[in-house]
Amino acid sequence: MKKMNWAKIMKVCAATAVCTGAFTLSAFAGNWVKDATGWWYDYGNGTWPSNSWQWIDGNNDGVAECYYFDRFGYCLMNTTSPDGYQVNGSGAWVENGAVQTRNVAGTQVNNAGQNATQSVSSKKSGLTLFNTEPILQGGAWKYESAVSNRENKSYTKVIVFSYNDYIEFDNSAGYTHFKATVFPKKGDWGRDDRMLLQVLSGDEDEFYVTDDIYYDTRAFDIDVDISGYDKVRLKSTSVSGTYAYIAIANARFE
């Protein structure tokens, strides 16, 4: 079942006048900032919203407007959001030309960039890719365990890539992040062997690519923004050598 994002839930709540009883969202304290690209919102602690709707009381009058921030953290203006809602020239969500507002007087303010109560989207459990059937696969086999070449550490439920392997998963549920631990798998690594791991859309738009992975690269974690894409492809590339293997552990969508 396709999830209903919290902006749509807010719309339904407003229409049925039961918004207060449904759930609580925090208004955020911070400042609007404009640069050469556009407007973004600074929480004041080194963080900012992205890939999400946020209720913001910009003038501290106790009434918040709802704004959508793209994957780079910029506020959308005078357009349609990825989930089909209109925003005006100031970026505020509008329905039939009317700015949608929420009374936030007395609402707990959280400067950490997180809702004081868990958002609807964050309640959805993640998707473990090892337990998920891929929709496309060329190599990239699943193994019950593998050992990292540098640390000699054993990882369970891994996906292993040789050169130019790929595996693709469906993201129709609308997960926004791909996370995993990446490491060179113990095996026939040569001194000059180098590998890369790419995270792509189904149309091969690149979201992320690792630095060159060598035989002595330490295991590292990645967190890749995949919001707005319904297919995600993981692909290995051999920069040099043909017998090296890389692996990912704890791979999941969140």
pLDDT tens figures, 191-206: 999 999 999 998 888 9
Q: Which fold has domain 127-253?
A: Jelly Rolls (2.60.120)
Residue in 177, 137, 176, 185 with CA at minimum distance from that of residue 158: 185
Please report, for the chain, the start and end positions of each structural domain, with discontinuous segments joined by +.
Answer: 6-122, 127-253
pLDDT digits (tens, 9 = 90+) for 229-240: 899 999 999 898
Average pLDDT over residues 135-158: 94
**What is the per-residue pLDDT for 143?**
95
Q: Tell me: the pLDDT tens digits for 57-71?
A: 888 888 889 999 998
Is residue 98 pLDDT above 60, yes or no?
A: yes
Evaluate whether the domain defined by 6-122 bears CATH number 2.60.15.10: no
> Is this structure's pTM higher than 0.85?
no
What per-residue confidence (pLDDT) applies to 26?
A: 44
Residue 96 — pLDDT band, cuts 50, 70, 90? confident
